[in-house]
Structure 1
Amino acid sequence: MRIPPAGPPVGAADNGGVSDAAWNPGIATAIGSMPGTDPLEAARVVLGELPDLMPFPELPARGVGADILGRTAGLLVDLAVEVVPSGYRVAGRPGRDHRRALDLLRWDLDAVEQAVAEAGAPRAVKVQAAGPWTLAAGIELERGHRVLTDPGALRDFAESLGEGLRAHAAQVAARTGAPVVVQLDEPSLPAVLAGNLPTPSGYGQVPAVPGPEAQRLLGDVVDGLAAATGRPVIVHCCAPRPPVRLLRGAGAGTISLDATRLGSVTGAFADELGEAWEEGTRLLLGLVPAVDPEHRPDPRELARPGLELAARLGFAPKALLERAAVSPSCGLAGASPEWARRAPAAARQVNEVFAEAAER
């Protein structure tokens, strides 16, 4: 893994790295997004239910500036975006859309700080943002083309993202007194690699980005964040076949994936996952429904894809406790408030099934 230490890591005073502070056996966490529009209520829920690795809550139901792209764009340094009919576009100067994203983030920081003051600090906090390729795929240049089609703009956005996220992680560490882990969300990366993104006209497709180029840019961001926080970076990609080898090559210490969508794990993909897991890359397995299930889920059924994955890759169930964590399959923004509270408990129950299997 490419994780060079550099300088004093943010929030490192008392808690050590993520391996010691957050990845105790049986850990559960969440991807990040929550239902509703009340940041204090969301902060209280995630802190109370997920104290080992508390996800910094995101509330996309608040609209512009609270979704994954607008929220991440608000972290950028010396770059601004605005809302146009087609989505987010680079702006010449910060306007009301940019200021709204900053205001929402400040309210979230205040809410998390208050929740911590009430209940005590979590063992670790996880902050989330769009990764460089998802950000560059989702924001337009002034001419309407995607940022990723302009090498200079792409580089500027990646550097600005890294700088902004490092500052955000430092703020969260100062407000909570807890170590901070960064998660980069890359849902668009498979489309970037496959050349499946449409051009502005809708009649063509943006050329595929070569794997080595995608890995290099992502790796630069990951390296900077890992050095600043002193902890491995999580990269989340919920595609049925996430680019595991590329993510691992970019330095991801943990790969977050939707384990319910993997299907039959065979061939090259099985080799990628097995090699990554064997050589120390952790897996964050999305096993709990992200939206309200029709019936109360059976923990053994929820655990089954994880147990089958470990068996397929040649690992004993004990590896699921030592080198994996459990989360909902995706963000909880589409869930009811009740299920958003119950999903973490379901994740802990899945870990109990893993523990039982490990003892056999």
Structure 2
Amino acid sequence: MTTTGLGSVPGDDIREWMRAVLELVDIPFLPELPARPYGDMLSRSVAVLTELAADLQPVGWRLTGGGDARASLDQRRARALLKEDLDVLEEYCDGYEGPLKVQVAGPWTLAATVERPRGDKVLADHGARRDLAQALAAGVEEHLAEVRKRVPGAEVLLQVDEPALPAVLAGAVPTASGWSKHRSVDGPGAVELLSLLTSAAPTVVHCCAARPPIEVFTKAGAGGVAVDVSLLNNAAWDQIAVAVEAGTTVYAGLVATTGAVPDKEQAARPLIQRWRELGLDPELMKQVVITPACGLAAAPSPRDARTRLNLLRAVADVIGDAAEA
């Protein structure tokens, strides 16, 4: 069984974290350090939008036009920080061969978060959200090509973070006035834009929700889904069971990101118990990847976050034993 993290970590030392992820998990990843200016998930994603310009307003990122020439100072700073992190990745992964994961916010989370030039979210405009998704897909392709160039031995895996997609599908994203909600998006529409990203590399879609839209993710071409096991309701488990039996890899978030650090049996128990209740073949547990429940940026300290990452392999061993029992 394998382990990985979901991207965000506390602190501001990218070198410390690059060393840590190469040591502590089986699938190393490019760390996101949101404590740094422009180091959060959204800024990372705006940085790869090479075909669209944006600036940072008090309420968040806002599109301003197309092309690098009109990129704001904020967007240029976000790109510079990403380049610095890629320099560190190249340095520490010199000679590395194997899986390597990078993360980006998905098209629906961006559309529900980023504003149009004249206000309100991109989600409000069908054409604008398609343009944003296409620009994101083009930027991600360039970004992944750069990662492959810097680490030639890497088998690059793309993680698409879609925390806002359940609200988009439910019509629960507020408009700018706050008095109403944006119209819901149907499943086929969600699949259409998300699938623009899944052709760039093997893809896992991450969504921490009680009922993540697993079927949307798999229909869009994702080979893996990342979930917080502690949040899942019965309907979500039913979808996961179908996905697992169809060959989808489940990135099971089992180690809490805050609070007391659990022991390995305590962390593994919810997955093993549900697997048995659903009557799934124990052998299928071997295609599960063990992760923290979500990103670790909220952990109280870098030391605490490293402890939680270090626990993942022990949890994987417990689940591996259950799969062979």
Kept in 2, the 8 Å contact 1:192–1:208? The answer is yes
**2:297 is matched with which residue?**
333
Residue identity matched to 2:60: G
1:85 and 1:270 mapped to 2: Cα distance? Answer: 39
Matched AA of 2:41: I
Q: Give the counterpart of 1:255 among 225, 237, 246.
A: 225
**Contact 1:75–1:165 at 8 Å: present in 2 too?**
yes
**CA shift at 1:211, angstroms?**
1.5
Task: Tell me the CA shift for residue 290 of structure 1.
Answer: 1.5
Match of residue 274, structure 1, among 226, 234, 241: 241
Whole-angstrom distance in 2 between the partners of 1:342 and 1:130: 26
- 1:166-177 equivalences under 5 Å are 166-177=141-152
Match of 2:30 among 56, 72, 81: 56
Q: How does 1:237-256 map to 2 (within 5 A)?
A: 237-256=207-226
**Counterpart position of 2:311:** 346
Structure 1 residue 122 displacement after superposition: 4.9
State the aligned residue count. Answer: 319
Q: 1:70 aligns with which of 38, 43, 49?
A: 43
Identity of aligned residues (%): 43
Alignment match, 1:324: 288
Give, in angstroms, the shift of residue 86 of structure 1: 1.4
How far apart, CA to CA, are the structure 2 residues paired with 1:269 and 1:333? 25
Q: In structure 2, what is the Cα distance between the partners aligned to 1:122 and 1:68?
A: 26
Rounded to whole Å, the distance in 2 between the matches of 1:152 and 1:166 is 21
Pairwise CA RMSD: 1.4
Contact 2:244 2:284 in 1 (8 A): no
**1:124 Cα deviation (Å)?**
1.1
TM-score w.r.t. the length of structure 2 is 0.94
**Match for residue 235 of structure 1 among 200, 205, 223:** 205
Amino acid at match of 1:208: S
Deviation at 1:271, TM superposition (A): 3.3
| TM-score for both structures, normalised by structure 1 | 0.85
The offset of 1:138, in angstroms, is 0.6
Structure 1 unaligned regions, length at least 5: 1-25
SS of match in other structure, 1:33: coil
How far the C-alpha of 1:40 sits from its partner, in A, is: 1.3
Q: How does 1:47-196 map to 2 (within 5 A)?
A: 47-50=22-25, 52-63=26-37, 65-92=38-65, 93-117=70-94, 120-177=95-152, 178-196=154-172
Shift of residue 339, structure 1, vs aligned partner: 1.9
- Given that 1:54 and 1:122 are in contact with CA atoms closer than 8 Å, whether structure 2 keeps it comes out as no
What secondary structure is seen at the aligned counterpart in 2 of 1:125? strand
Aligned residue for 2:179?
A: 203
Matched AA of 2:27: L
Between the aligned partners of 2:317 and 2:197, the Cα distance in structure 1 is 35
Question: 8 Å contact 1:318–1:355 — kept in the other structure?
Answer: no
By relative contact order (CA 8 Å, sep 6+), the higher-ranking structure is: 1
Structure 2: state its 5+ residue gaps: none
